[in-house]
Amino acid sequence: MISGTPGRVGVIGGGVMGQALVGAMLEAGVDVDDLVVCEPAAARATEVSSRFGVRAADSARKVASRCDVLVLAVKPADLDQVLGEVREALDPGTVVVSVAAGVPCAFYERRLADATPVVRVMPNTPALVGQGASAVCAGAHATPEHLEQVRTLLARTGLVLTVPEKHMDAVTAVSGSGPAYVFYLLDALAEAGVLLGLPRDQATQLATATFRGAVALQEETGEHPVVLRERVSSPGGTTVAAVRQLDVHGVRAGVLAAAEAARDRSRELAAEQD
Ligand SMILES: NC(=O)C1=CN([C@@H]2O[C@H](COP(=O)(O)OP(=O)(O)OC[C@H]3O[C@@H](n4cnc5c(N)ncnc54)[C@H](O)[C@@H]3O)[C@@H](O)[C@H]2O)C=CC1
Ligand SMILES: O=C(O)[C@@H]1CCC=N1
């Protein structure tokens, strides 16, 4: 692929993340005729074609033989089979991009031809609305240019950071899985409104707007979350009483433990594939 032009992109797996990336890559300037997706589940394949107008291929091998960038968006447990299918068909210069949680670049490099450039990405589902947070890291044979090509493809997913591979499990725990924690807390705040007598739709609207507004305030002011929290907390008021209960119930410790569990599970996923 020539730097600055997106080139031909093949996507293996048209599920949640495959579709999020297809949408973002089309927005980033990949020509619809240069994108092909392999998705064995018929209903999903139809969904991908009708939603994005991209071609569907019936085998991963065919996709791999005709692309400059091959995106693997299958579950970690399906990678071994997919790599076996594409290995012989890949051109030596094709960049292999994987979004699989936990699985290191070396896993792909061991199964593909010598010197295959591999770039590992950890995206998240808000990429579907251009508000994602992703991190990328380069494998042993991926050059800065390869990394830049992948970053260009991801440009419309939202924030994209480059990190050393040793940080990818932490990224997975914070931003990869992170949207689930936010939805969990959002649902809890809406439920609290219902507990206190608000109609559910109003409780949900208030909780959602509060999350959105708090994040926007932090982004616009650039102030530390603790400073912003203190600004809500009037002496002897309602907020300090509420935050004390968050501490009593271990919410902060719970978030830290959740992230550690996600990090550990990411490591296990890698070990399970080897
Ligand atoms: N869902 C999320 O929030 C995130 C997921 N990921 C990673 O993305 C990858 C995919 O996850 P999801 O999209 O959530 O899963 P998903 O289950 O929605 O999609 C996976 C798709 O791969 C297809 N597939 C299975 N075997 C295949 C094969 N041999 N050839 C072609 N397609 C095949 C399945 O039919 C399915 O549609 C995983 O490795 C996951 O770790 C990474 C970051 C966030
Ligand atoms: O739960 C998972 O394993 C995937 C990876 C990060 C978000 N979803």
Other beta carbons within 10 Å of 255: 14
Residue-averaged pLDDT of the chain: 96
Has residue 131 got a pLDDT over 70? yes
CA distances from 192 to 27, 106, 185, 198, 206 (A): 39, 46, 10, 9, 11
Q: Quote ipTM for the complex.
A: 0.99
CA of residue 5 to ligand 1 center, whole Å: 26
14 is in an annotated binding site: yes
Distance CA(215)–CA(209), nearest Å, equals 10
Has residue 3 got a pLDDT over 70? no
CA of residue 198 to ligand 2 center, whole Å: 33
Which residue is closest in CA terms to ligand 2's atom 1?
177
Read off the pLDDT of each residue in 241-268 and give the average, rounded to a whole number. 98
Residue to mutate (ligand 1; options 11, 12, 17; most atoms within 8 A of CB): 17
**The predicted structure's pLDDT at residue 4:** 54
Angle at 145 between CA 144 and CA 146, to 5 degrees: 90
Has residue 110 got a pLDDT over 50? yes
**The predicted structure's pLDDT at residue 1:** 45
CA of residue 122 to ligand 1 center, whole Å: 12
Q: Is the CB of 175 under 6 A from ligand 2?
A: no
Q: Is the CB of 134 under 6 A from ligand 2?
A: no
pLDDT tens string 170-184: 999 999 999 999 999
Tell me the percentage of the chain whose pLDDT exceeds 90. Answer: 96
Distance CA(238)–CA(234), nearest Å, equals 7
Read off the pLDDT of each residue in 124-137 and give the average, rounded to a whole number. 97
* 122: phi then psi, degrees, rounded to nearest 5: -120, 100
Has residue 14 got a pLDDT over 60? yes
Distance of CA 160 to the CA centre of its chain: 10
pTM: 0.96
Has residue 2 got a pLDDT over 50? no
Give the position, in ligand 2's atom list, of the atom nearest the Cα of 180. 7
Read off the pLDDT of each residue in 149-163 and give the average, rounded to a whole number. 97
Tell me the percentage of the chain whose pLDDT exceeds 70. Answer: 98
Read off the pLDDT of each residue in 52-66 and give the average, rounded to a whole number. 94
Angle at 194 between CA 191 and CA 196, to 5 degrees: 115
Q: Residue 274: which pLDDT band, with cuts at 50, 70 and 90?
A: confident
The tokens 């940080």 sit on which residue? Answer: 167
What domains can be seen in the chain, in order of their start residue?
Answer: 9-166 (3.40.50.720), 178-269 (1.10.3730.10)
**The predicted structure's pLDDT at residue 273:** 86
Which ligand minimizes its atom distance to the CA of 120?
1
Read off the pLDDT of each residue in 153-170 and give the average, rounded to a whole number. 98
Has residue 103 got a pLDDT over 70? yes
Amino acid at 2: I
Has residue 5 got a pLDDT over 80? no
Give the position, in ligand 1's atom list, of the atom nearest the Cα of 269. 41
